[in-house]
Structure 1
Amino acid sequence: MTALFPAADSRAAGKLVAAILTCDIPRYREAHRAFVKALVQKGYDQSNVEVITQTPNPDPISWANSIRKFNAIGADLIVTYGAPATMTALREAGDIPVVFADVYGPVETGVARSLSGTGHNMAGVSSKVPLVTLVKTALEVKPIKVLGVVYTGREEGSMVQLKEMRKIGAQYGVILVEVNLAGTSGIDAALATMFNARVEGIYVTECTAGSRGFEKIVHRAGESKIPVFSQMPGAAQKGAVLSLEADPAEQGQVAADYAARILGGKKAGSLPVATPKKVELVVNMKVARALDLHVPFPVLSAATRVLK
């Protein structure tokens, strides 16, 4: 875990923005880079704002400790990436406004009371994309009757995706083999459970452990000719046959817009929850060929990006 703390005299004329990037996950890092760049474009640069970060471990105590540190140093605004850090900020931030990004299902997780406003001292952007579209597309590439689902029970966004997948699985007659992945050390056991159940595909939710161990999951699944798909940004580039993803850069840009408004005096709770406008369906043809899968033309036509 790392932190940058401001010098005592750096606050005289400016604002302090404090951000949490759990485990320095790549999609959070990309969103934060876009956030900082967009904030500068809106007139908030090093002359009038200082941006500090922490990259806590993916557990409730670490998230809470980061928020409490931000409270102690008097942050003017807290920025959170992902549902777990955002939920922790909701409990721990006190009077400090919060801007969130990359939260899958803000209403379902309890981050927001509705999309018209959070009802709390926070505002931000959802990363929710239609899971049913991803599943329907995956079933066009390969008929799947038994599907492995990797999730983390203590992460709210991951649980929202699991619950959605249960409904979709029932709708399409797909049996789910659910594995609760608490950390990357549990990947081998999780894979063994799914392989023993003879899964025909694996869906990885947007959980921290799944993100950090994604390449290993894809590699081991590929050895058994099992396709992997996910909504995590960058999943197809890392070996998933399909991904349906909200753009991290757009998440950061929208968060910066909200941050600028709040720093300018706007009440966070009065702002609506933004929804992603840039959503990509990515097909990895190289992986599909390696798995001996035929990708139908309608799937290729629907894809916004094809990796060859």
Structure 2
Amino acid sequence: MLLALSAVIPASDTRAAGKLIAAILTCDLPRYREAHRAFMKALVQKGYDQSNVEVITQTPNPDPISWANSIRKFNAIGADLIVAYGAPATLTALHERVEIPVVFADVYGPVETGVVRSMTSTGHNMTGISSKVPLVTLIKTMAELKPMTTLGVIYSAKEEGSLAQLKEVRRIAAGTGTILVDVNLGSPSGIDTVLATLFSTKVDCIFVTECTSGSRGFEKIVHRASELKIPVISLIPGSAQKGALVSLEADPVEQGQMAADYAARILGGKKASQLPVATPKRVDLVINLKMAKALDLHVPFPVLTAATRVVK
């Protein structure tokens, strides 16, 4: 689905004249849209105008065939730069592109997902922004609010970023003796089924990975879980506002701004492979006091002190 066509380029850099930027969002989620808006705005703030570079933005259906078709279109029209939001779209760009440089954003664990070889040397004509945050902080914060014997995890087997989060939480759980119950959510229509599995095993908490289906059905997950006094935690940006008790969120706006900086450097002649993968500086630990009250949970003062944002 073609969403937008606009033009941006630094007027002072003639090497960028006539360039075409093609942006792909893994799916139509708020965090990707927010990052892309910040990307476009940052280009303007860097002195870009609407005269010499076209920016084509596509949000295909969230499936491998649609992602691949979008990248193939970008190849066919001769894009000079691809901007990819999310691990699935980024991996598709890696596999489908020819020699087009790629700047990615909102990729959890670029090394773990196979997007790059290392954070300092990508090994490809690609660079970008990692959205990885310390998942152990989220789990430990939740444990301070409510002891956890059994932790439920909702993930998607089709998304490498979601799988990377599942592997990490498995490692954390193994170190604390927490029993893990993980369920694969293939589509939003399967929410009732996966929740029934988690509820039947009497999980103490549910962690929703940054999978597409979990993001789309997040409010339903929270509603059903809260009826049974089960807290939900997540890394999904904006999840605390939607009812998560605790969230640890990398700022999509910052990621879009950083991606714009990399895009500008590449349009100016820099090789993408020469730019190390950047990491976010603005990461919020958010505590939802309103949800804590609804779940009859006390929030200790040290937890409130550690939080960077509070939802009341």
Match of residue 304 from structure 1: 308
**Where does 1:161-200 land on structure 2 (aligned, <5 Å)?**
161-200=165-204
Aligned-pair CA distance for 1:167: 0.5
Aligned-pair CA distance for 1:4: 4.8
Match of residue 2 from structure 2: 2
**Where does 1:9-158 land on structure 2 (aligned, <5 Å)?**
13-158=17-162
Letter paired with 2:117: R
TM-score, structure 2 as length reference = 0.95
Q: Out of 215, 222, 235, which is 2:219 matched to? A: 215
* Alignment check: 8 A CA contact 2:6 2:50 kept: no
Aligned-pair CA distance for 1:6: 8.2
Residue identity (%): 76
- Aligned mates of 2:52, 2:213 — CA distance in 1: 37
Task: Flag the structure with higher strand content.
Answer: 2
TM-score, structure 1 as length reference = 0.96
Aligned-pair CA distance for 1:117: 2.1
Aligned-pair CA distance for 1:161: 0.3
Letter paired with 1:2: L
- Secondary structure of 2:51's partner? coil
Aligned-pair CA distance for 1:21: 1.3
Structure 1 ranges of 4+ moved more than 4 A: 3-7
- Secondary structure of 1:23's partner? coil
Aligned-pair CA distance for 1:49: 1.6
Aligned-pair CA distance for 1:195: 0.5
- Aligned mates of 1:228, 1:286 — CA distance in 2: 13
Query: In the comparison of the two structures, how many residue pairs are matched?
Result: 304
Q: Deviations over 1:123-179 (max 9, x none)?
A: 101000000010000000111111110000110110000000000011111111111
Identify unmatched segments of 5+ residues in structure 1: none
Identify unmatched segments of 5+ residues in structure 2: 8-15
Q: Out of 279, 291, 301, which is 1:275 matched to? A: 279
Match of residue 231 from structure 1: 235
- Aligned mates of 1:219, 1:230 — CA distance in 2: 15
- Aligned mates of 1:143, 1:2 — CA distance in 2: 47
Aligned-pair CA distance for 1:43: 2.7
Letter paired with 1:104: Y
- Aligned mates of 1:39, 1:49 — CA distance in 2: 11
- Aligned mates of 1:293, 1:58 — CA distance in 2: 37
Letter paired with 2:247: S
- Aligned mates of 2:199, 2:248 — CA distance in 1: 24
Q: Considering only aligned residues, what root-mean-square deviation do their CA atoms show, in Å?
A: 1.4
The answer to whether the aligner puts 1:203 opposite 2:234 as a matched pair is no
